[in-house]
Amino acid sequence: MVKGPISVLLVDEHAILREGLRALLSSSPDLLVVGEAGDGPSAIRACQSYSPAVVVMDLFLPRMNGIDAAREILQRQPGTGLLVLTSDISSHCVCEAIRAGVSGYLDKDCGVAEIIQAIRSIAKGDVYLSPASSAKLIKGFRGNSTSAEAGSAWNNLTKRERQVLQLIGEGCPNRETAKHLNISVKTVEKHRANLMQKLGIRSTHALIAYWNKRGLTKGALERKTTPSTRSPVQPLEAPLTDLLWGNGQPG
């Protein structure tokens, strides 16, 4: 049980979303946003600095995706509550997040009131899943053997191999990847070779294509661009995306 205001860390690539969500959460006196981060490694460092009770985190982050960041955060600080707030509620993403140890999963189209409710529930040690994500979770765990077989190669990748794969997918050359991960270029090349062997892939282009299809990448998302017809003053039950930007999500 958290005593006093619930400390919250906001993690999202878009500064405008972090700033807007910080302002919206300030409407609740029992919540205190203690910090922000824009990518996976920064989120891990911020958790060590601020020790938040709850981390509200997108899955689609540069340098290290939200699922791998969640695993790292929970390994270092097991008591941290993790709430995913993202644009994708596919079975794959929901199941991967739950396996990583997150305590909640919400779509960015949810209302701010639901985000606040989820944060409070997670701070008490409960699990909070939106109805849509609950349905996707059940569907994912009921998946047939074919889907399980298709995911086996991905599941056999090490944490470091997934990190290297993400950076390859983002177009980082070996030298930049080595700098991001604080390893040698030769080690990056070794991980790249292991990835190709495990995934049965023979080229960098194919690795990028695999990441775009199987990994956590915004390129696979269909963005909503329908202009909002809501009034400028929104209740907390209005979708978060409408409260922050009336004409669709940022690019």
pLDDT digits (tens, 9 = 90+) for 55-75: 999 998 988 889 889 999 999
Task: State how far the Cα of 84 lies from the Cα of 60, in Å rounded to an integer.
Answer: 10
Which pLDDT tens digit goes with each residue over 176-187? 888 888 889 899
pTM, two decimals, is 0.69
Average pLDDT over the chain, rounded to an integer:
80
pLDDT confidence of residue 216: 63
Q: How confident is the model at residue 246 (pLDDT cuts 50, 70, 90)?
A: low
pLDDT confidence of residue 197: 86
Of the chain, the percentage scoring pLDDT greater than 70 comes to 78
As a whole number, mean pLDDT of residues 129-134 equals 79
pLDDT greater than 60 at residue 193 = yes
Q: Describe the crossing of helices 91-100 and 66-76 by its angle, rounded to 10 degrees.
A: 10
Burial letters for 80-105: b for 16+ Cβ neighbours within 10 Å, e otherwise? Answer: bbbbbbbbbbebbbbbbbbebebbbb
Q: How confident is the model at residue 88 (pLDDT cuts 50, 70, 90)?
A: confident
Contacting residues for 71 by C-beta, under 8 A, at least 6 apart: 100, 101, 159
| Greater model confidence, 225 or 172 | 172
Q: How confident is the model at residue 12 (pLDDT cuts 50, 70, 90)?
A: very high
Q: How confident is the model at residue 238 (pLDDT cuts 50, 70, 90)?
A: low
Delimit the CATH 1.10.10.10 region(s) of the chain: 152-219
pLDDT confidence of residue 231: 37
pLDDT confidence of residue 237: 54
Residue 85 · residue 57 · CB < 8 Å = yes
pLDDT greater than 50 at residue 229 = no
Query: Which CATH number applies to 152-219?
Result: 1.10.10.10
Q: Quickly tell me which residue has 């919540």 as its tokens.
A: 31
Residue 191 · residue 157 · CB < 8 Å = no
Which pLDDT tens digit goes with each residue over 15-34? 999 999 999 998 899 999 99
Task: State how far the Cα of 118 lies from the Cα of 123, in Å rounded to an integer.
Answer: 8
As a whole number, mean pLDDT of residues 235-239 equals 54
Delimit the CATH 3.40.50.2300 region(s) of the chain: 6-140+224-244
Homologous superfamily in CATH for domain 6-140+224-244: Response regulator (3.40.50.2300)
pLDDT confidence of residue 44: 96
How is residue 121 written in tokens?
Answer: 């529930």
Sign of the torsion angle spanned by Cα atoms 86, 90, 94, 100: negative
As a whole number, mean pLDDT of residues 80-108 equals 88
Of the chain, the percentage scoring pLDDT greater than 90 comes to 37
How is residue 58 written in tokens?
Answer: 């997108």
